Amino acid sequence: MTAADIAKAVAAGKMSALDAIEAALARIKAHDTVLNSFTDVTADRARAKARAIDADIAAGKKVGPLAGVPFAVKNLFDVAGLPTRAGSKINRDLPPAARDATLIERMEAAGAVLVGALNMGEYAYDFTGENVHDGPSRNPHDTTRMSGGSSGGSGSAVGGALVPIALGSDTNGSIRVPSSFCGIFGLKPTYGRLSRARSFPFVASFDHLGPFARSVADLALAYDAMQGPDADDAACTTTRGLEPTTPLLANPVSDLRIAIAGGYFQKNVFPEAVEAVSRVAKALDATRVVEIPEAARARAAAYVISTTEGASLHLDRLRKRPNDFDPAVRDRLIAGAMVPAPMVDRAQKFRRWYRTQVAELFKSVDVLIAPATPCIAPKLGQVTFKLDGVELPVRANIGIHTQPISFIGLPVVAVPVPLEPMPIGVQIIAAPWGEDIALRVAAALERMGVAVAPAPRGF
Amino acid sequence: MAEPLDDYIDAVAKALALPVEEAWRPAIRANLEVSLRLARLVDEFALPDETEPAPVFTA
């Protein structure tokens, strides 16, 4: 069932919230031994919350738009009572979080019920969904393949239909990559739109939180429930108020100027990514190709800022507990600490220049279409792939099309194109604060059957 | 034979009090080479002196 169907049935008294939660807990129990998407299942808390919702309904009280909907969060969100491990071994020694992350509080205020925390790449510095401490989360369409990172458990749990909604984070692609590999919808909102309060950071300049779902309606329901400024997140204190998107999803998209991102975004792609973009463009009648200026340099600058801010964040842990890191993450972070400071400053200056150029581009375009990943999910443990006869490292190339977009905080919906044998995602990119536009386009693609979250069949 | 970046890695590791075990060095060097190659791509893009960085402080 979709989140919308569950909430409707619960609110109408046709299904109890407790039954909805028990069903999710049963699916997790039955399938997560294979998918390995959950690191914590908060069953007692979930049952108590569900009973409270059922009591409210019995008492005739009004319930929220997500009443009884089970959801789970990447384990970098604070969950009261759990140490926020952020995919690491080291953070397990932290005291349990005293309070839930803002976004969990907002989801639960709308009636949703947290059922657990999800596996992720260590400290979110990952595109594979592999984790040396917890084992990899697995792709629900082929469990020998990657879920994608770093929100791998989120992709795996929603792609595997264990829960209809999950939350994750996206610094350079960590929502869009697992969405692509696991065949689901993911929203990376505008930078600063959703509060990151009480979540474990990675790169403060680029960190975003957002939802995953199996339908656009569910994605919008979750997004709408989480909007609003928050004094506890320095990037989310704007006066931008609630801008609900659910009522807009059925609106036509014929008035939108939709273009295909050319140049950089058409290079280094496998045939499946070309096919997915072409299907989406055709469905939307998009023929115009526009070039985002200096996208390769934008990706380079995003890389530099990420590795240096990440290194700064973890400097003390690198000094004191280097052997408790995933060695691959440790070695990247140590190298990041050694990048000369002027290069970081220049990357941040380039970022402003690039932001201006892209803002100019959005004067004549409303939506850009680009691949979410260059390929379908690689095999777990796969280190290289061959593209045009050239052997390339997998890890470094998975995020090449997502990084130049999150670099300037643009809102993106990753939509799943159900190719055989594996799905792959396409980015629907809008100008800052245009989540409603990206969601409308995603909804139109879903209505046309071009973007669909395929039923899991890998387990 | 020492790689060209090894002296630099040793010096910065010392300045930052970061441990670098010999077994980690090849991977750190490889990562640093990638980071510096990408950083140079940004570095070589000329920008006016007046360019502000993306994050702007608000008092």
Higher pLDDT, A56 or B57: A56
The boundaries of the domain holding residue B24 are 6-38
In a domain, B43, yes or no: no
Contact A338 B9 (CB under 8 A): yes
Q: Residue B15 domain-assigned?
A: yes
Chain B residues whose CB is inside 8 A of the A294 CB are: 45
Catalytic residues of A: 74, 150, 174
Query: Is B57 within the bounds of a domain?
Result: no
Min Cα–Cα distance to chain A from B59, Å: 13
Q: Which residues pair with A415 in a beta bridge?
A: A426
Residue B33 belongs to some domain of the structure: yes
Query: Distance, in angstroms, between A263 CA and closest chain B CA?
Result: 17
Q: Do B41 and A297 touch (CB under 8 A)?
A: yes
How many domains does chain B fold into?
1
A424-430 sheet: strands from edge to edge: A38-41, A113-118, A70-74, A165-170, A208-213, A185-188, A412-417, A424-430, A367-371, A258-261, A289-290
Task: Give the closest-approach CA distance of A351 to chain B in angstroms.
Answer: 6
B23-52 residues touching A, CB cutoff 8 A: 24, 27-29, 31-32, 34-36, 38-43, 45, 47, 51-52
Neighboring chain A residues of B34 at a CB cutoff of 8 Å: 303, 335, 396
Q: Would you say residue B27 lies in a domain? A: yes
- Residue A378: the pLDDT is 98
Mutation for testing the A interface, residue in B12, B42, B51, B58 having most A CBs under 10 Å: B42
CA atoms of A415 and A452, how far apart (whole Å):
8
Domain-embedded: residue B21 = yes
pLDDT of B1 above 60: no
Indicate which of B35, B36, B37, B56 best probes the interface with A, i.e. most A CBs within 10 Å of its own CB: B35
- Write out the DSSP string of B28-54: HHHHHHHHHHHHHHHHTS---TTPPPS
Domains of chain A: 3-299+338-447 (3.90.1300.10)
Determine, for residues A339 and B20 on separate chains, whether the beta-carbon distance falls below 8 Å: no
Instruction: Give A374→chain B minimum CA distance, Å.
Output: 20
Asked if residue B14 belongs to a domain, the reply is yes
Asked if the structure places residue B22 within a domain, the reply is yes
A291 phi-psi bin (left φ>0, alpha ψ -120 to 50, beta other): beta
Cβ contact B35–A336 (<8 Å): yes
Mean pLDDT, 10 residues at a time, over chain A (459 residues)? 98 97 98 98 98 97 97 98 98 98 98 98 97 98 98 98 98 98 98 97 97 98 97 87 96 97 96 98 98 97 98 98 98 98 98 98 98 98 88 92 98 98 98 98 98 94
ipTM value > 0.90: yes
Indicate the pLDDT class of residue B57, thresholds 50, 70 and 90.
Answer: confident
- Predicted local confidence at residue B2, as pLDDT: 61
In A, which residues are within 8 Å of B36 by CB distance?
Answer: 339, 343
